[in-house]
Amino acid sequence: MVITDGLGCEILEREECLQLIDSRSESVGRIGFIDAEALPAILPVNFRLMGDYVVFRTGVGSVANAVSENQVMAFEVDEVDAYGRRCWSVLVRGTAAFLPDDCVSSGPELPRALVPVPGSQIVRIASTLVTGRRFSLPVFRSKSHRADANPGVP
């Protein structure tokens, strides 16, 4: 049974959300966190899904500082099929932590850093809260198309 929200978006179950994240592994998602100046920050990352964790690499800086403070982070990934006009978006929220060394050495291939930097560390975000939506894109008409269809209308 398909459940929709008030806008007609399909609400995705946790398991489907995790499958969609996994289908996009090795591509680019976005992490959201509060930086050292107490401002929201959103950055792109390469990622992998490992069990119930979203895993990515980071260098020294604002992301590493947020992780060392055991901060809750958000991760978002989506896909847009412009031809089929279908989209989905998944949001994961949970506590971020550095991946333990034993997991790094024995785990599957880990994601590469989007921007390779020396001394990068592996971060995992627990999938404490996972939400997702699937929806259709509206049909937009170009200005030239509207002008042809409605002469005299800007």
Give the confidence band of 102 by pLDDT, cuts at 50, 70, 90.
low
Alpha helices in 9-109 (DSSP H): 14-23, 62-68, 101-106
In angstroms, rounded to a whole number, what is the distance separating the alpha carbons of residues 109 and 96? 20
Q: Confirm if 75 and 95 have CB atoms less than 8 A apart.
A: no
- The residue that leads in pLDDT, 144 or 67, is 67
Domain boundaries, the chain: 10-133
Cα separation, 100 vs 112, whole angstroms: 17
CA dist., res. 40 & res. 72, Å (int): 12
Instruction: Give residue 101's pLDDT.
Output: 64
Residues 22-35: tens digit of each pLDDT:
998 778 999 999 88
Does the model's pTM come out above 0.85?
A: no
What is the model's pLDDT at position 153?
A: 46
The gap between the terminal CA atoms of the chain, to the nearest Å, is 44
Please state, in angstroms and rounded to a whole number, the distance separating the CA atoms of residues 32 and 75.
6
Select from 3.40.630.30, 2.30.110.10, 3.40.190.150, 3.40.50.300 the CATH code of 10-133.
2.30.110.10
pLDDT band at 71 (very low <50, low <70, confident <90, very high): confident
Per-residue pLDDT at 141: 67
pLDDT band at 147, cuts 50/70/90?
Answer: very low
pLDDT of 135 over the 60 cut: yes
